[in-house]
Amino acid sequence: MERSEDIKCKSIEYGNIICKAFNQWYALKNGIQEVVDPFYPEGSAMETCRNTIIRYKEKIVNELPEELYPEEYYLDTPEEYPHNYIAREDELLTLGEKRLKEIKQMPEYRKMLEYKYEKYYDKKTDKRNNIYYYAVKGYVENFEQALHSAENERNSCDSIKKSCYDFKQDIMDVRRYARYSDEWWKGAFERCLYLIKDLCSQEEKQENNSNEGIHLLADNYENGYQFSLLDFGLC
């Protein structure tokens, strides 16, 4: 048989767990939860919180005398929300538009695009060399595509047809990309710049040298120069 002190401690413990789950549920619902899984909707985490509250209310009934029920037990259990619920969707779209413009104006991003990296290196070579230029550029492109798709879905009937268990992937991607800090974006761009700068400069130099050689051959041809196999690198 449990001691009365142990039962009182259990009452406090269960009450604290319920209180924490309530606070987290309301924070998720209102979009003010500091840490949110970037790959899951708030509705999924809210369901976990609600189940925790229900489970510990049952434990209180089964394990504690009524006079020791914590006050949290008497709080109304939160209502059930769709599994794919995303908090403050309209605000996320507005934030997404603002953040995308800011990111595209970053000097590091604009400088990265100025290099003709894609002219010299394909995706396979890029990955083999551990540059990941296409992946970093793809972050911005994917952000823009997700924002466009999320806005279209909001203005269409597709969102109404969605099951409560169909994740709204586009708006979740917008939420994730929009909440990455400036330091995160700049760090990704700066890493690429550091790696591709010398590579592109070397390729451009070789290209210029090659073009100069072609022009020289053309000039010699016009002047009646007699070519040998050495001119064409065949010896």
Task: Read off the pLDDT of residues 89-137 as tens digits, 9 standing for 90 and up.
Answer: 999 999 999 999 999 999 999 999 998 899 999 999 999 989 999 999 9
Query: What is the CB neighbour count within 10 angstroms for residue 44?
Result: 18
* Interval 191-215 mean pLDDT: 76
Tell me if the pTM is above 0.85. no
**Same domain as 151, residue 35:** no
Q: Is the pLDDT of residue 232 over 50?
A: no
174 and 146 in one domain?
A: yes
**CA pair distance 173, 9, nearest whole angstrom:** 43
User: What span, in angstroms and rounded, lies between the C-alpha atoms of 13 and 19?
Assistant: 10
Q: Specify whether 95 is located in the same domain as 193.
A: yes
Q: How confident is the model at residue 170 (pLDDT cuts 50, 70, 90)?
A: very high
174 membership: H or E segment, kind and range: helix 169-179
Grade residue 231 by pLDDT with cuts at 50, 70 and 90: very low
Q: Both 171 and 97 in a single domain? A: yes
Residue 23's domain spans which residues? 4-74
- Confirm whether 232 is domain-assigned: no
pLDDT band with cut points at 50, 70 and 90 for residue 28? very high
Residue 162: C-alpha distances to residues 76, 154, 165 (Å): 29, 12, 8
Domain annotation covers residue 16: yes
Whether residues 217 and 113 share a domain: the answer is: yes
